[in-house]
Copies of this chain bind each other. A is one copy, B any other.
Amino acid sequence: MTGSTTPRADRVSYVSANEVAERAGVSRSAVSRTFSGAGSVAPATRRKVLKAAEELGYHANLLARGLVGEPSRIVCLIAADVGQPYHSAMIDKVTRQLQLHGKVAMMINTAGDDDSVSQALRQSLHFRAEASVVLSGSPPAKLVQSCLSNGQRVVLVNRDDDAEGAERIRIDNATACREALALLRRAGCKRLACVSSQARTSSMTTRESAFAAAAAEIGVEIDVVRVGPTSYDTGQEAARVLLGRSNPPDGVFCVTDLLAFGFIDAARTIFGVEIPRDLCVIGFDDVPQARWSGYELTTFRQPMDEMVARIAEILTSDTSGSDSAFEALPVWRKTVRMG
């Protein structure tokens, strides 16, 4: 790295409504009224105020506005693994949707463990956020209560929590996973396996157990491998483990697209298997890469737009303890033979 700097100009403080008022020759309240939209103000005064504000470079202080009791317009977004496709897609949509509703996202990047989620929720409280949207980790019920009792909205996305009074948004993993099994069976797969993650989030565990349960019902036994976190590398490692066996599976359900990509790549590169001829693979989430022609992954699509729309709805409505479930729909691409 190369660089250059020059000494910094002195910090100047923001211009206040008072100064604008003075310059415009009106009262502070007139300024307030022009910018907040409440109350009435004569067109002439309004013009004077606007002119003065422009000249002075005035920007209303939302912090102060929030202090008086107005909603802060801040919504806290609590997420981990922001770099991963699923999370970043979600964040993209949520932030946009919030802005559409005149709110702004305060993003807190947690490590995913419950302690940092607690910290995040505390930040949310400190900044008097109107709401907290939890995309990762599972916050302690007590802290959620604290947010709730302070008038915050708390939206839990795909988390399994006992937090009373929080709003829940989740996709119906169980149904989708049963369907995954059916898809593989219909494709004629005999030896089934499930590639999961060591991360014990509710999505991971319910997907894996629903798949296993569905298999048990029809009397077939499946392997479940968990060799690392929810990542591409873990998918690869799982392929090494499963396909290295004397009796490798011919149908694999990966609880996440990312795992599936790793699995597919290792299967092709290391074991030379052809997909879907020798091996069928199903993923989950339908991240953008799933449609790349290097994969064309058959997977399940989370109706993200609808979920995000529902979040916005919750934030602007007046209910509590709502519970919305969304269906994940299969996206047929090319990693499973047609039945």
Contacts and interface: CB of A to CB of B under 8 A. Distances in A.
Interface string A145-166: 0101111000000000000010
Chain A residues touching B, majority SS: mixed
5 contacts: A7-B320, A57-B146, A57-B150, A61-B126, A83-B288
Interface string A97-127: 0010000111111000000000000110111
Given A126-B60, A165-B9, A325 B3 contact: yes
A62 to B, nearest CB: 5
The 10 closest A-B pairs by CB, nearest first: A88-B88, A5-B322, A5-B319, A8-B320, A82-B92, A59-B125, A11-B151, A95-B109, A83-B92, A3-B324
Interface stretch (A133-141, A190-198, A289-297): A289-297
Contacts of A99: 108-109
A106 B104 CA distance: 7
Chain B CB within 10 Å, residue with most, of A64, A95, A293:
A293
A325 B5 CA distance: 12
Contact of A292 (B6, B15, B261, B320): B261
